[in-house]
Structure formats: C-alpha cells, structure tokens
C-alpha cells in the first residue's frame, strides 16, 4: 500500500500501535498506526504530528497486530 504525501499523516494524534512504545534517554517514541513510522509520543500518549514515514523507514508491527 502506498500512502500519498498529502501533508500530515492521518495517524498524527492517535495512540501508537500497542506494544511499540520505547523510551531512550527520557524520550518516548512509538509506531504510528497509519504509516508505520516511529515518531515521538506526546506527553498525552499520542503520536506527535508528522508527515508519513518514507517506505524504508517503516517498522513492522508486533506479531499478531498486523494480521500476519
């Protein structure tokens, strides 16, 4: 599936995919449910506003979360 570059990703403001939040040096990141890119998690627990991740920067969802 190709996600067109139409500005901000539809997953901006949504909670990250369950089981993908990581913390490194006090910064939290998680996988966007729309574009599968890893982005900063806002202090409210949602994925920060972002453009869709490039194809090479997308991550696989944890097993059992993507239907595979």
Report residue 19 as tokens: 């089981």
Residue 11 lies in a domain: yes
Whole-number pLDDT of residue 67: 47
Look up the domain containing 44 and give its range: 1-60
Residue 14 lies in a domain: yes
24-44 confidence digits (pLDDT tens): 999 999 999 999 999 999 999
Whole-number pLDDT of residue 66: 54
Residue 24 lies in a domain: yes
Residue 44 lies in a domain: yes
Residue 47 lies in a domain: yes
Whole-number pLDDT of residue 2: 55
Residue 67 lies in a domain: no
Residue 66 lies in a domain: no
Count of domains for the chain: 1
Say which residues have a Cβ less than 8 Å from residue 2's Cβ, sequence separation at least 6: none
Whole-number pLDDT of residue 7: 62
Q: Tell me the whole-structure pTM to 2 decimals.
A: 0.80
């Amino acid at each position: 599936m190709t996600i067109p570059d139409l500005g901000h990703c539809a997953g901006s403001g949504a909670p990250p995919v369950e089981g993908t939040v990581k913390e490194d040096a006090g910064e939290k990141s998680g996988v966007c449910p729309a574009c599968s890119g890893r982005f900063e998690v806002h202090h409210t627990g949602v994925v920060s506003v972002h453009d869709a991740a490039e194809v090479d920067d997308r991550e696989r969802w944890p097993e059992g979360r993507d239907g595979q």
